[in-house]
Structure 1
Amino acid sequence: MEEMVENTKKMKNKTSYQPSNSWSMKFFPMATIVVFVSFFLGLGAAFLDFGIDKIRVWLFQWDKGRMIYFFLLPVIWMGLFFISSWLLNQFILAAIKQGKCRSPFAARILAFLSSLGFYLFLDLGHYMYFQDLHLLALLDHLFLRGTNLQNPYFYLAALIEFIILSYLLTYWAKDHALWPFCEDCLKWFEFRAYISFNREDREKLMDAFQKEDWKNLPDPLDNHEKEKAGYEIHISMCPSCRFKGPAQLILCEIDKDDFALDLCKTWLEKGDFEEWWNQFPSGKQGYK
């Protein structure tokens, strides 16, 4: 597996999808809504922190409660952090998809502003409840017993938390905006077809993707043998153009739980893709 991943890093595809760096008129209104939603999510997270602090007060009334709280608090806080990140990512994804944003730069700006709004209002609510900063309450409860907002290390800790959140959101947003889009039909590509191969066909598949020598692909499995597949070529295309338009081919490794791990990808232009697809017998062409 490690050897295979290493080989994929060396691949140089001759063609790849290039976004148009444009968007529809819906994008800016939806992006504005997402930024405002981030404000309320931040305040909501601060309110949940307030509830957690009430639990702390209740647990500290008995001897073993303090130990239980020390173990539970980091887990709860990490859970809240990732749930908040996931929720923000879903709103950002909706704005990108519905606003047809094909600009990775604009998507990253939206993600950064959303993470900034979330964190500012998180700390605003947290300051109203506790008179300290969000991340610092953990240090306060575990070690400090009295937060000093004049300490510059407190602000450094808060900055680190914001950087982590903004990095995650901007990384996900860029990936959303880089998904192939049909400029003729104004629709996002969808995973619509696949070709399955045996696990023993690894070298031939890797060589075919590296050289884009599609005529030397190994013999694919029949559709009724899909459960035996070790590798699949997943095909994303415009839902309107279908096989008459361009397509993105993704070589995936299929594990025992039928989970697909993307290894490498390439791009076939209009006409080339239809010719590529028609080389396979109908009994070996899989459809989603």
Structure 2
Amino acid sequence: MDLTDILYEKNDGIAKITINRPAVYNAFRAQTIQQLIWAFRDAWDDLRIGAVILTGAGEKAFCVGGDQKEKGNEGGYDYSGGLGGGIGLEIESLHQVIRNIPKPVIAAVNGFAIGGGHVLHVICDLTIAADTAKFGQSGPKVGSYDAGFGSAYLARIVGEKKAREIWYLCEQYTAEECREMGLVNKVVPANELQQAAQEWAEKILQKSPTAIQMLKYSFNADSANIQGISQLAMGSLAMFYNTPESNEGKEAFLEKRPVNFNKFRG
């Protein structure tokens, strides 16, 4: 595959996948998602690989979710690519491959992890964050949502009250705040982030691969029912993207003006 949106390397049993769109804070488009899926599946099939690191290019962002400039007026996204979930993004397939790959996935969050980018780190097995990283949701601000793993699984991690706060208020949280709520495993200085992720991956490589695989399957089993919820959520999101309400969020973002959702109440 021609990798235009990501970087992919494999060294000494560790696969490293980097979202490489720093000019747009590593926001993803259809090609980005397709290439991420390809890389995770390649790491899955390579028996030499025992751990995967997911990170973002540059210092500003891990990933800020879907590229709003690519979202079309008729719902979905305008660029070429698979129509996964009917929204032009195979995001559900990406979520599933990150959860199901029988190898731990470490998110190395180097900056903003917002919106769909925040969901990606939530789904990863482990998260190490730079002390400069910021986390949060943005969907309801721009006419979007993730009512599958992005919300239901988040609640498993941080609790119902905190998960509702994160989604309803769309505020941003520091890496240390996220560590305190159990959303981040470890916080390190920004210049030590990649080395810290590498060290954890190397520690995993020293363990029994079968034991790690079975443990991951066991951890996933308790929340496996969310996959069905996710399918319903993505279907509803495809329909929502065709509404003026969703389009208001996109247009306000692109026009850099306050969003006005009040006209859709009453």
Higher helix share: 1
Name the TM tier (shorter chain).
Answer: under 0.3
Length-normalised TM-score, structure 1: 0.24
